[in-house]
Amino acid sequence: MKPDRKSKLYVHLLFWVLYYVLEVYLDFYWSRYQFPDTEWQIRLQHTIILEIGYLLIKMLMAYALLYVYEKSRIRKWYAFMLYFSIITLAVLAHRFFTHYIIYPHIYGMVETLDGKELSGYINGLVAFNSFMDLIFLAGLIFGVEITRQKNVLKEQYSKLKSEKLDQELTMLKAQINPHFLFNTLNNIYGMALKKADETPDAILQLSKVMRYNIYEAAERYISIDKDVENIRDFLQIQQIRHHDLVIRFNEDIDHLSQEISPLILIQFVENAFKHGVSETLGKSFIHIDIKLHNGVLHYYIENSKEEKPHGNSTKIGLKNIRRQLELLYPKHILTVESTNDRYIVTLIINLNDPSRF
């Protein structure tokens, strides 16, 4: 059974059970005034039986109305005529069941109103009461069904939105991994040409980083200690290549198992090397501070750059990062400052923000 039909079955079943119990209670309460001399057990038995008959009439009317409502192709005037016809038939069935079955066969008496025989006027008044009862029921069932449909649509929209975000994030991450791999391989290639002794260590560090990118980064969230360890591995690779690089890496984390989306923090470090440190002709540096207290992450990166860097490709990388942050942490705060000789990035994220996707 499809989820929508299953949900409809459960909601409607619950509605009719509650409605039937309420009608039995109200009719039983009313019967003690109309039949004061009848024992309560008999009155309850009569009430249970007659309310089953009324319930069948009301259910047929309700689902006939809903059927017309769900057929959106039906023209409005034609739908109105069908609504009117269905309700009219339901009123007639309701009156027939009451007048010709309930009173003579269950109550064993002729139907009256305030002790008077049902004349034309009184019969019309009773029919109007039946009409109002059925209209009230129709309003209830329409309200229940429309609310249920809105909730189903809301769930479907939320699911589609989540799937769309997952696909977009997967695409954005896919843009990161090859870029990082190619850049690092180029670095190791340069070291191999020089027959540097650090080449094996660089390959080992690269294998750790790639293992993280392939396996850990596939998860939506990971512990922050794994993400920080990946940054350390990346810095060690860069330190091997840039011997004069000054690295300052500080961390103050009060909860190592705090979850964070992978590949967010490392992108700023990659950007720092691609568009700053690697292009610096003089002494290059990168300062990284990571502070996590009570679920709030403060991330600070400062790195050297040339006074007149060529091109503006850094904007592409930042655009990718900003988009991921918008999807994952809508309430983040990101500032990027560029001076004559350095880039400064500050990121603040509440990792426990309930609005995060």
User: Contact 179/233 with Cβ under 8 angstroms?
Assistant: no
pLDDT at 297: 96
Q: Give the alpha-carbon dihedral of 311, 314, 316, 322, to 10 degrees.
A: -150
User: Contact 61/90 with Cβ under 8 angstroms?
Assistant: yes
Out of 104, 133, 157, a domain closes at 157
pLDDT at 258: 93
Residue 180 lies inside a defined structural domain of this protein: no
Residue 172 lies inside a defined structural domain of this protein: no
What is the pTM assigned to this prediction?
0.54
Together in a domain, 22 and 139? yes
> What single DSSP character describes residue 84?
H
User: Contact 172/323 with Cβ under 8 angstroms?
Assistant: yes
Together in a domain, 141 and 244? no
Q: Compute CA 158 distance to the chain's CA centroid, rounded to the nearest angstrom.
A: 4
Residue 60 lies inside a defined structural domain of this protein: yes
Together in a domain, 218 and 145? no
Out of 99, 134, 157, a domain closes at 157
Contacts of 152 (CB under 8 A, 6+ apart): 4, 7
Residue 168 lies inside a defined structural domain of this protein: no
pLDDT at 169: 60
Together in a domain, 208 and 285? yes
- Phi, then psi, of 176 in degrees rounded to 5: -85, -50
Together in a domain, 10 and 134? yes
Instruction: Report the distance separating Cα 37 and Cα 112, nearest Å.
Output: 17
Two structure tokens written together for 357? 């996707």
Structural domain count, the chain: 2
Instruction: Report the distance separating Cα 20 and Cα 151, nearest Å.
Output: 24
Closest CA to 50 of 120, 106, 92: 106
Residue 186 lies inside a defined structural domain of this protein: no
Together in a domain, 206 and 339? yes
3-state DSSP percent of the chain in helix, strand and coil, to 5 = 65, 15, 20
Residue 230 lies inside a defined structural domain of this protein: yes
Residue 181 lies inside a defined structural domain of this protein: no
Together in a domain, 235 and 120? no
Together in a domain, 75 and 214? no
The tens place of each residue's pLDDT in the chain, 357 residues long, gives: 566 677 788 888 999 999 999 988 888 888 877 777 788 888 888 888 888 988 999 999 999 988 888 876 667 778 888 888 998 899 888 888 887 888 887 777 777 665 555 655 456 667 788 888 888 888 888 888 888 888 877 877 676 666 556 655 665 555 555 666 676 788 788 778 888 787 888 888 888 887 887 777 778 788 999 999 989 988 888 887 777 788 999 999 999 999 998 888 988 888 888 777 765 556 789 999 999 999 999 999 998 887 655 555 455 567 778 888 887 888 899 999 988 888 899 999 999 876 655
Together in a domain, 245 and 131? no
Q: Which domain holds residue 332?
A: 196-350
Together in a domain, 274 and 339? yes
CATH of the domain at 293: 3.30.565.10
pLDDT at 154: 80
Beta bridge partners of 335: 346
User: What is 144-172 written as a DSSP string?
Assistant: HHHHHHHHHHHHHHHHHHHHHHHHHHHHH
> What single DSSP character describes residue 217?
G
Residue 355 lies inside a defined structural domain of this protein: no
pLDDT at 189: 82
H or E stretch including 335? Answer: strand 333-338
Question: Which amino acid, 185?
Answer: L
